[in-house]
Chains A and B, each alone.
Chain A
Amino acid sequence: MNEMNTENDAAQTANTQAGFENEPVIDAELQQALASFKASMHAWSEAAYSRPRTVAPTVRQRGWRLAAGWALGCVLVAGSVSGGLVEQHHRVEAKRMATEQRAAEHERQLREQEAQAKASDPGVTDEVLLAGVDSDVSRQVPSAMEPLAQMMQDDEVK
């Protein structure tokens, strides 16, 4: 019991000496460890704080990245624009060719129909056609002209 009290007293004294009074009791070993930790942290911080800064390479690298980004962007834009133009040209050309093909096909079909019509009606000769025309053109003599027509017949008899 006395030993424990002595140990606590010693630790409390160590705390007081280290300026850690009014705090958890810290024995000599722990105090040593904390002192080493503090010294280590101070040494590291000092070294890191005063290390040379590498600002320039970072800026240059950033500049290169920026330039590369812009170049890539320009290439992409130019590529997409020219690709669009080529595609548009192809479409117009294809449309024009399709229209021409359709017109040629239509003309060909008309010609075929005409030829078929001619081939399917071979009996219509020139005489028949003229007779048809005569019958369409000829008229009956009106009744008012009847006496004149008779006179003409009489003259022919005389």
Chain B
Amino acid sequence: MAAGTALDAMAMTTADDAAAQEFARVVEKHRPQIFRFLLSSTRDVDLAETLTQECFLKAHRNWGSFRGDSSAMTWLMRIAINLQKDHWRNRRMQFWRTTRTNSVDLDEASEWLPSGEGSAEQHLLARERVAEVWAAVKGLSERQRTVFLLRYVEEQELSEIAAATGLSEGTVKAHLSRAVARVRLELGGKR
């Protein structure tokens, strides 16, 4: 009986270790992507880092209840989206606090381009285009922005976006369509 209990305890420890290792792998694999999504949503590096930490902390606490119905990435993205929503909601509620934000402005956000962008003229043109897309993204609703960023920055499938946001695929498509129309309008308006 005692030997059985000891074996059970050892088996549990082994299972816990395996789960911890599995979670560590998930963090290593998906952390940059979660951070990127939060950065593009907030344009605030410190806030994106904080929310990424919170996201993985929450994921760690609930790792046992993750059944694997969706991919780990979709599950993590869902947590990240909810955290981001909560953050903005709390910020709106705390109206007596200073509303100073560390979000960088659109020009600064547009400065980032991969180094191999061709000639100086092409680089300038690309930068201008990025600034226009940022301007359009800024004017989108929260849902439209989330759907747009998940599709065109994270390159997720519509079904994955639907699973992460808790919306139907039709609704995701409608939000995406409006977001694209807005970006097109912004790009066309400057020509």
Q: Report the minimal beta-carbon distance from A54 to chain B, rounded to whole angstroms.
A: 11
Interface residues of B in 102-152 (CB under 8 A from A): 109-110, 112-114, 117, 126-127, 129-130, 132-134, 151-152
Residues from chain B with a CB closer than 8 A to the CB of A39 are 113-114, 117, 126
Residues from chain A with a CB closer than 8 A to the CB of B40 are 41, 45
Give Cα A49 to B112, complex, Å.
14
Interface majority SS (helix, strand, loop, mixed), chain B: helix
Partner of A45, one of B32, B134, B181, B183: B32
B residues engaging A (CB < 8 A)?
32, 35-36, 39-40, 45, 48, 109-110, 112-114, 117, 126-127, 129-130, 132-134, 151-153, 155, 158, 173, 176-177, 180-181, 183-184, 187
Which of A27-35, A86-94, A135-143, A146-154 forms part of the interface with chain B? A27-35
Residues from chain A with a CB closer than 8 A to the CB of B173 are 23
A37 with B155: CB separation less than 8 A: no
Q: Report the minimal beta-carbon distance from A7 to chain B, rounded to whole angstroms.
A: 14
Number of residues from A at the complex interface, CB < 8 A: 27
Give Cα A19 to B112, complex, Å.
24
- Smallest CB gap from B174: residue in A: A24
- Smallest CB gap from A45: residue in B: B36
A36 with B39: CB separation less than 8 A: no
Give Cα A36 to B32, complex, Å.
19
Interface majority SS (helix, strand, loop, mixed), chain A: helix
Partner of B35, one of A29, A32, A40, A49: A49
Give Cα A35 to B17, complex, Å.
41
Interface residues of A in 36-52 (CB under 8 A from B): 36-49, 51
B129 with A45: CB separation less than 8 A: no
A43 with B36: CB separation less than 8 A: no
Interface residues of A in 41-84 (CB under 8 A from B): 41-49, 51
CB of A22 within 8 Å of the partner chain:
yes
Give Cα A41 to B48, complex, Å.
13
Residues from chain A with a CB closer than 8 A to the CB of B127 are 40
**What are the interface flags for A1-41 relative to B under an 8 Å C-beta threshold, 1 for contact and 0 otherwise?**
00000000000000000011011101101101110111111
Residues from chain B with a CB closer than 8 A to the CB of A29 are 187
